[in-house]
A and B are shown apart, each in its own frame.
Chain A
């Protein structure tokens, strides 16, 4: 995820034939990976995705421009914001998409419905810059989006006990915290698994109440 100027590489012509979904693919679900710049969102998506991560774009000016409002169309001040995503085929019918989005809420509105209908979110955290995660966690709680916290390990990451992290992030006891290496497929898969197990617990609790 980054800002881009108007110079962009030519988009690929289409999916490779081996990347095509079966015609039986009937529904998709999504998980959002939220984190600050450089925390490893695209790395995590890429390590576990069955396709090379793709980039979808939106322009900042369009989000606020009305249908008939052509004012300002001629100037070149629009900013393109990119969001990387990947895909995992769950079975013949169900597909899981992973979207990596920056922590700033103003970007979330660019992609209408990014969080609506999402199964949940992974807050990817770099302990060297813990403060950028405070706002993200608050916003997700406000929106009622279930999430887990994944701590991406960098070589110079200071090791924190989970209890200290939980206190520092002011996280409820129920919200799982998991350590990961976003470069490793198995580790990234475990992060998603942690989220799913947590969602399973929430669903079970809800059914029981």
Chain B
């Protein structure tokens, strides 16, 4: 691997490879969806990997995996690996989306209709 520097490094596959230690999204529990809500249990700890600390700071209030990806500028496949680490370390809690088996759930649909009517 060549040592890429400067701006290129920011978005390079090398950097993403280093951040995740070479792991890809497939090693993460399949329970993390784009709309799984993540919330931090406490603030970041000194010595944490910067990307882990950044996610914890973002998740002061519940935030979806997709939003975490958007705000960190990291691909979803990378973000899910990092969130997997934080879940394993009990640093964050994940609130799973409504499970597919329940869809289309009539009460859920009616709640969404009520919400849209108030827009």
Interface residues in chain A, defined as those with a beta carbon under 8 Å from any beta carbon in chain B: 6-8, 10-15, 20-23, 25-30, 48, 54-59, 61-63, 65-68, 70, 73-74, 76, 78, 80, 85, 87-91, 94-97, 99, 111-114, 116-117, 119-120, 146, 185, 189, 192-193, 196-197, 199-200, 202-204, 206-207
Contacts and interface: CB of A to CB of B under 8 A. Distances in A.
Q: How large is the interface on B (under 10, 10 to 19, 20 to 34, 35 or more residues)?
A: 35 or more
Interface stretch (B41-49, B84-92, B102-110): B102-110
Contact of A73 (B11, B14, B98): B14
B35 A28 contact: yes
A61 B97 CA distance: 28
**Interface hub of B10, B22, B100, B115 (most chain A Cβ within 10 A):** B115
Given A73-B1, A89-B115, A117 B61 contact: no
Given A23-B39, A90-B111, A196-B113, A99 B104 contact: no
Interface in B1-15: 1-2, 7-8, 10-14
A56 B71 CA distance: 8
Given A73-B14, A88-B115, A189-B119, A30 B70 contact: no
Contact of B116 (A7, A8, A192): A192
B97 A30 contact: yes
Contacts of B110: 200
A78 B62 CA distance: 32
B95 A11 contact: no
A154 to B, nearest CB: 24
Interface in B34-90: 34-37, 39, 57-58, 60-64, 66-67, 69-73, 75-77
Nearest to B72: A11
Given A27-B96, A28-B35, A56-B69, A94 B1 contact: no
Nearest to A27: B98
B112 to A, nearest CB: 5
Given A12-B71, A200-B109, A23 B61 contact: yes
A29 B108 contact: yes
The 6 A-B residue pairs with the shortest CB-CB distance in the complex, in nearest-first order: A90-B115, A11-B73, A54-B70, A20-B61, A28-B35, A117-B100
